[in-house]
Amino acid sequence: MYYIEEAALKTEIAHILDSDAKEERIFEMVKGFINNRPTITVADKLTMRDEFAKSAMQGVFSNNEMWTNMCMDRRNSTRDKEKDSQEDYVAQQCYIMADAMLKEREL
C-alpha cells in the first residue's frame, strides 16, 4: 500500500467511526473508497529496459528448447555461479539482452 493510500484510508476509517453509520452504510463507504482510489499498475513502473527484458523472458519461456539450453549453459556472465538458480541466470541473461537492445537503439 502506498503512503497516500494509507493516509486516505486512515482518514476514511476515522470518518466512518465518527459517523455512527450502520453496517450497510459502512460497507458502501468502504466500497466507495476502494473504487475511487487512484490505480497504479505495474506498467506505470516498468522502464523500457524492463519491457525489453520481459519480452526476452517471454520468448525464452515460450520455447522449451531455448529454456533448456539456457539452463544448461551457464558459461556466460552471471553474478554467482554457485548460488544463483537457473531462474536467476535466465533473468540475468534477459536483462543482458535488454541492455543490448537499448544500446542498439542508440546507434
Look up residue 86 and give its three cell numbers.
Answer: 537457473
Q: List the domain boundaries for the chain.
A: 3-40, 44-106
* Per-residue model confidence as pLDDT tens digits over 48-99: 999 899 999 898 888 888 878 877 776 656 566 677 777 888 888 889 999 9
Listed in sequence order, the residues at least 6 apart from 71 whose beta carbon sits closer than 8 Å to its beta carbon are 86, 89, 90
pLDDT at 44 over 60: yes
Instruction: Give the pLDDT score at 68.
Output: 80
| Helix, strand or coil, per DSSP, at residue 22 | coil
pTM check: above 0.85: no
Instruction: Give the pLDDT score at 64.
Output: 83
pLDDT at 30 over 90: no
Cα–chain center distance at 80: 24
